[in-house]
Amino acid sequence: MFIRILIIAFVIGYFVWWVNNRVLGKNLKIAKVIAATLIVTSVIYLFLGSLSYLIERV
């Protein structure tokens, strides 16, 4: 469970880094929107994954 979360966090972090360096350049407003979207999506995924793990474990 936690290894999968770490792998997903690494992939998302690499994707944000790549988009920031290659695509956006110095356009900080779009970079902030993309970063916020990825963070919110990751938090929702972690919450639902943890909730599912707790429910199925009991």
Q: What secondary structure does DSSP assign to 2-24, as a single string?
A: HHHHHHHHHHHHHHHHHIIIIII
Which residue type is seen at 32? K
Collapsed DSSP state (helix, strand, coil) of residue 54: helix
What tokens appear for 6 in the block? Answer: 């770490």
Q: Among 7-16, 17-26, 35-44, which is the least confidently predicted range?
A: 17-26
- Counted domains in the chain: 1
> What predicted TM-score, i.e. pTM, was given to this entire model?
0.52
Q: Answer yes or no: is pLDDT of 45 > 80.
A: yes
**Predicted pLDDT of residue 58:** 66
Torsion of CA 38, 41, 44, 47, to 10 degrees: -50
State the residue range of the domain holding 38. 2-57
